[in-house]
């Protein structure tokens, strides 16, 4: 499949959020990425249901929601109701991961599992058959604007081989330090979905940057 681009609203201008969402709507982006942080699982707080519901009113692209929170099971249906179409939980935050991803799918959303940089992909061997996407964090989660961790390429290749060898239809998403310089190498390693925040919203021409990420040469 052709790779997807999911601009991250964490890097958007919150004083002009509607304008930035409209820009994504009008661009060649495929999804809109929202990072939900609770200040407990990660040392930062982003936004919650009211902002999601506000974005949903204007969004014309599927809302790709990444939960960096403790006890995500308490809120799965709330995130669905707030507009999430793809819901990703952190492997490290889920005591009963199978139950969590099964419930996400039961609620009508695509289920994703995210791995922190230090978490090996081998721990997913018994989970791949029950999810739609794996998110490889290529920075330590919690803040935008961090430098890409170069060792991530090997981790992505290992995961791609695990998925392909098992015959599963599971997408690989990456988030953290993604830009037009490393995007091509990430796709070559096996990535299906690029999340880009600062590279897009910090660009002089965000639509052009999204187009460049979508059409890599």
Query: How many Å apart are CA 215 and CA 217, to the nearest integer?
Result: 6
Query: How many Å apart are CA 20 and CA 33, to the nearest integer?
Result: 12
67 φ, ψ (degrees, to nearest 5): -90, 115
For residue 97, give Cα distances in angstroms to 49, 121, 123: 23, 14, 11
Burial class (CB in 10 A: 0-12, 13-18, 19+), 121: buried
Active site residue 205: no
Active site residue 81: no
Question: Which member of 30, 35, 64, 179 is catalytic?
Answer: 35
Half-sphere exposure of 213 (CA within 13 A, CB side): 32
Tokens linked to 134: 């794996």
Query: How many Å apart are CA 41 and CA 192, to the nearest integer?
Result: 26
Confirm if 118 and 88 have CB atoms less than 8 A apart: no
Question: Which member of 20, 38, 64, 175 is catalytic?
Answer: 175
Closest Cα partner for 153 from 187, 193, 110, 109? 187
Active site residues per annotation: 35, 175
């Amino acid at each position: 499949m052709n790779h997807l681009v999911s601009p991250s609203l964490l890097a958007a201008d919150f004083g002009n959020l509607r304008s930035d969402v409209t820009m994504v709507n009008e661009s060649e982006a495929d999804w809109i990425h929202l990072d939900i942080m609770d200040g407990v699982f990660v040392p930062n707080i982003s936004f919650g249901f009211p902002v999601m519901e506000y974005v949903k009113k204007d969004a014309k692209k599927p809302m790709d929601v990444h939960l960096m929170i403790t006890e995500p099971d308490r809120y799965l249906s709330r995130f669905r109701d707030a507009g999430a179409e793809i819901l990703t939980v952190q492997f490290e935050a889920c005591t009963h991961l199978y139950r969590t991803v099964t419930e996400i799918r039961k609620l009508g959303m695509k289920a994703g599992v995210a791995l922190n940089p230090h978490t090996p992909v081998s721990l997913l061997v018994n989970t791949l058959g029950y999810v739609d996407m794996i998110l490889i964090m290529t920075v330590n989660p919690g803040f935008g604007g961090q430098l890409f961790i170069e060792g991530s390429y090997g981790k992505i290749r290992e995961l791609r081989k695990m998925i392909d060898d098992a015959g599963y239809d599971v997408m690989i998403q990456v988030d953290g330090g993604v830009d037009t310089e490393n995007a091509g190498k990430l796709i070559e390693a096996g990535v299906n979905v690029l999340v880009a925040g600062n590279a897009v919203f910090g660009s002089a021409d965000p639509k052009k940057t999204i187009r460049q990420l979508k059409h890599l040469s």
